[in-house]
Amino acid sequence: MSPTRSAQRIVRDVVFVDGVRTPFGKAGEKGIYAGTRADDLVVKCIRELMRRNPSLPADRVDEVAIAATTQTGDQGLTIGRTAALLAGLPRTVPGFAIDRMCAGAMTAVTTTASGIGFGAYDVVIAGGVEHMGNHPMGAGADPNPRFMSERLVDPAALNMGNTAENLHDRFPAITKDRTDTYAAASQAKLAAAYANEQIQHDLVPVATMKPGQGWTLHTTDEPPRPGTTVEDLAELRTPFRAHGRVTAGNAAGLNDGATAAVLASAEAAEELGLPVKMRLVSYAFAGVEPEVMGIGPVPATEKALKNAGLGIEDIGLFEINEAFAVQVLSFLDHFGIADDDPRVNRYGGAIAVGHPLASSGVRLMNQLARQFQEDPSVRYGITTMCIGLGMGATVIWENPHHADYASSTSDQATTAATAVTEGAAA
């Protein structure tokens, strides 16, 4: 018998060690990152992760995966590899780039986590960046004419705002008043989280220089509008449809920012003395009709729950990316969750803080990890998001601070050891 077949392969536990992000900025000439390179934002995150985790030797990083939706210019040239070199990691550390639009960073995490589980890596850095000021969404894209000539998708599928209006059409119970109410609450929750210093720890200060202004150190997010009311939002225009329901106030804006996280096998984390903030339980991606892409988190979550052997009632915290309020509410309605359920986006979401496309997945994870630490009564939480062109993504995580966490991981270790023993005997 071949040595490679003498034992069953062990699927190892994957843990979220640490995550950081830059403050998010508004895209455009007046935004805080106008004149700043996207790859430099990623480098800031990688360097901060290494600074915060001094027990992690740089040469123990096995891979760097960085996502960007527009992979050109300062977001091109295999940005995972270039960012690793620019951050000062050893040249022996490889890297690659990922594109799954809004779920880029989330896919960077799940892809490298799969490598850890398989045994190809022990420690990785995964994240994403989007500088929408330098690279407006869709800029330079050349959609195949067959999309239109053969009617493969509705033309609305290529404009995310139109897909959100389509979602309102499909679910008429989700009114503009509901979405505005949800959006105002998102702003209020983020403002409260800032006041309670629940956001600042994950932020990497970024210094920028603009001609005539000199250097500025940015330590907070630029997009939030604290004090926003439903009455304020009711006055905004509906740019995607006359008398529509989607506005700049109940949707995420156009933003710049970067995120990065350290993931490791449970064994490597213990060996290196790295913290464990979450354990990955399962993940799933799903496709839906592109013209209603916002519903994507529903089938992705159902699939992830099934893979984990869990039900929606087992989930104690939800971090849902707020690309559009209607998209979040369609998810909540499907699972019978109230609009103001305290388990949902406790620190607010992308409507308030911003959504630099490919970077946002790790922001969700950072916030879930922080909430796990604050609330040991919660065992499982999810990070989920819709994805352009009709997809959804969901990752289920376990809270290491929960009383049952230690016993569950020890049971899994016993099962894995038994599998190896039985495989070797065979």
CA-based nearest residue to 50, from 129, 120, 125: 125
Calculate ∠ Cα 62-63-66, nearest 5°: 160
What is the token pair recorded at 410?
């020890």
Strand partners, 254: none
Helix or strand run (H / E) with residue 26: strand 25-26
DSSP string, 314-328: GEEEEEE--SBHHHH
Give backbone dihedrals phi and psi of 27, rounded to 5 degrees, phi first: -70, 150
Using CA atoms, how far apart are residues 420 and 415, in angstroms rounded to an integer?
Answer: 9
Q: DSSP code of 241?
A: S
Q: DSSP code of 79?
A: H
| Catalytic member of 102, 131, 135, 218 | 102
Assess whether 45 carries a catalytic annotation: no
Assess whether 135 carries a catalytic annotation: no
What's the residue count for the chain? 426
Using CA atoms, how far apart are residues 175 and 173, in angstroms rounded to an integer?
Answer: 6
Assess whether 102 carries a catalytic annotation: yes
| Catalytic member of 45, 135, 168, 386 | 386
Using CA atoms, how far apart are residues 392 and 383, in angstroms rounded to an integer?
Answer: 11
Q: Which residues contact 176 (CB under 8 A, 6 or more apart)?
A: 168, 234, 245, 250
Using CA atoms, how far apart are residues 352 and 183, in angstroms rounded to an integer?
Answer: 8
Using CA atoms, how far apart are residues 395 and 108, in angstroms rounded to an integer?
Answer: 12
333-365: buried (b, 16+ CB within 10 Å) or exposed (e) per residue? bbbebebeeebbbbbbbbbbbbbbbbbbbbbbb
Name the pairing type of β-strands 391-398 and 278-287.
Answer: antiparallel
Tracing tokens 């995550």 back to the chain, one arrives at: 19
Alpha-carbon distances, residue 155 vs 63, 116, 192, 215, 290 (angstroms): 38, 40, 40, 44, 9
| Catalytic member of 131, 135, 218, 355 | 355
Q: Are 119 and 405 in contact (CB under 8 A)?
A: no
Q: Which residues contact 275 (CB under 8 A, 6 or more apart)?
A: 17, 18, 53, 269
Residues with catalytic roles = 102, 355, 386
